[in-house]
Amino acid sequence: MNKTYKEFHIRTNPFVPEIISGLLWELSISGLTEESDFIKVFSPEHNLFKKEIETLLKRLIDEKVIDEFSVEEYELENKNWNEDWEKNLNIIKVTERIVIKPSYKEYISSSNEIVITIDPKMSFGTGEHQTTKLMLKLIENYVKPGMKILDVGSGTAVLSIASVKLGAYKAVAIDNDELCFENGIENSRINNVRNKLEVKTGEIKDISENEFDIILANIQKNILLDIAHDLKSKLKKNGLLILSGLLVEDEADMVDYYGRLNFTFIEKESMDEWIAIVFKLLK
């Protein structure tokens, strides 16, 4: 029997897809696509129920972000989910150098471009979301040859793959979702970086190594606060921490909290409602 998935169509007034998408990733979803006037969310049947989405959206009403919403629920089989996901994927030129493409689309690259092939299946990190783009832009600026990188909450492993292609001698990608683990391995093979990229499943505490030059974490704010001490313990002195999954209004809380852990703010990048922050761990 094929595994059944749920599909939800979410409409709000006003329609603020950037904010809604970011909050939806706090739930047990497998993926989402942004349509012209609604958001389509996918999740394994046992993970997510309509009432969880409605609770989240009611919170946005209470915070006066939206005035009203509607949620439609459907069931579909795994095969149909993948077909629907894939038809929405595009070739994305993230920066002048970094391009992300699915394996079934052709792209002729120029000599200076880094092309990353990502088949996301049910993992976050296609390059379409603002937070992934922000992380990739910062990775391009900061990852240097010979560095050791840790990618926490790695999803498709796109950030780790980019790091290796930019010169990192080793990257470790970890996610607590088994589907992300399998997808990360698949994508590392497609991109021929298996010799430098270790894909693991679990929590950050399951990483035995430390002294990473850069740690990457594109996760929502509450988790980034919860794991702050763990991130610090894995980072070398003067190492860099690049965080996203954050909204503009999260900046002050993040700078204050991480500042108390001896991190200093280096810079931030923003896109629409989203930001990414670079911290340095002081001696």
pLDDT in the model for residue 121: 61
pLDDT in the model for residue 89: 67
| Two structure tokens written together for 2 | 């094929």
| Two structure tokens written together for 226 | 């919860």
pLDDT in the model for residue 86: 58
Q: Under a CB-based contact definition with an 8 Å cutoff, are residues 274 and 265 in contact? A: no
118-141 burial: b if 16+ Cβ within 10 Å, else e: bbbbbbbbbbbbbbbbbbbbbbbe
Distances (CA, A) of 92 to 89, 107, 157: 9, 10, 16
Local mean pLDDT, 10-residue blocks, the chain (283 residues): 74 88 76 82 71 89 91 73 60 89 81 85 64 95 97 93 97 88 91 96 92 95 93 97 93 97 97 93 87
Domains (range + CATH), the chain: 4-86 (3.30.70.270), 127-281 (3.40.50.150)
pLDDT in the model for residue 84: 57
Question: Is pTM, for the whole model, over 0.85?
Answer: no
Distance CA 123, CA 180 (A): 5
Count CB-CB contacts under 10 A for residue 181: 20
pLDDT in the model for residue 99: 92
Instruction: Collapse the DSSP code of 15 into the 3-class scheme (helix H, G, I; strand E, B; otherwise coil) and give the result.
Output: coil
Distance CA 42, CA 179 (A): 14
Distance CA 177, CA 198 (A): 15
In the sheet that 4-13 helps form, which strands lie side by side, from edge to edge?
31-34, 39-44, 4-13, 68-77
Length of the chain, in residues: 283
Q: Specify the residue for token string 């994508």.
A: 187
pLDDT in the model for residue 1: 45
pLDDT in the model for residue 26: 72
27 Cβ neighbours under 8 A, 6+ residues apart: 43, 48, 52, 53, 56
